[in-house]
Amino acid sequence: QVQLVESGGGLVQAGGSLRLSCAASGSISSINHMGWYRQAPGKQRELVARITSGASIHYADSVKGRFTISRDNAKNTVYVQMNSLKPEDTAVYYCNANVASGWFKAVDYWGQGTQVTVSS
């Protein structure tokens, strides 16, 4: 089994910054892509940013230039630095990781979610 533990959410004023962290632990042979998704009330979960094991990065258009994703492979941890936050960034943010364990096929795992609230 693999666990993803997120931290760093909270309440911030518009224009402020937050940094989310997500650490993977458990039976891990390798981690392919890691990323962040978010889900606002009444909306579908959407991709925010993703980083591959080779450090290729993809951002949603809505966060380009404001969010920066990074990962520490030695710590099996992914981060997202969120700057210039807007009220529309308010959502529950979920960590995602595609993890291979032993001989088994890689599987997607999810964190429990962390609330980010941006006040206007």
The pLDDT of residue 104 is 85
Report the C-alpha dihedral over residues 63, 68, 73, 77, rounded to 10 degrees.
-70
Q: Which residues of the chain have pLDDT under 70?
A: none
Question: How confident is the model at residue 72, as a pLDDT?
Answer: 96
The predicted structure's pLDDT at residue 85 = 98
State whether the Cα torsion 20-10-114-49 is positive or negative.
negative
Q: What is the pLDDT of residues 58-92, one digit of tens each?
A: 999 999 999 999 999 999 999 999 999 999 999 99
Q: What are phi and psi of 12, to 5 degrees?
A: -145, 155
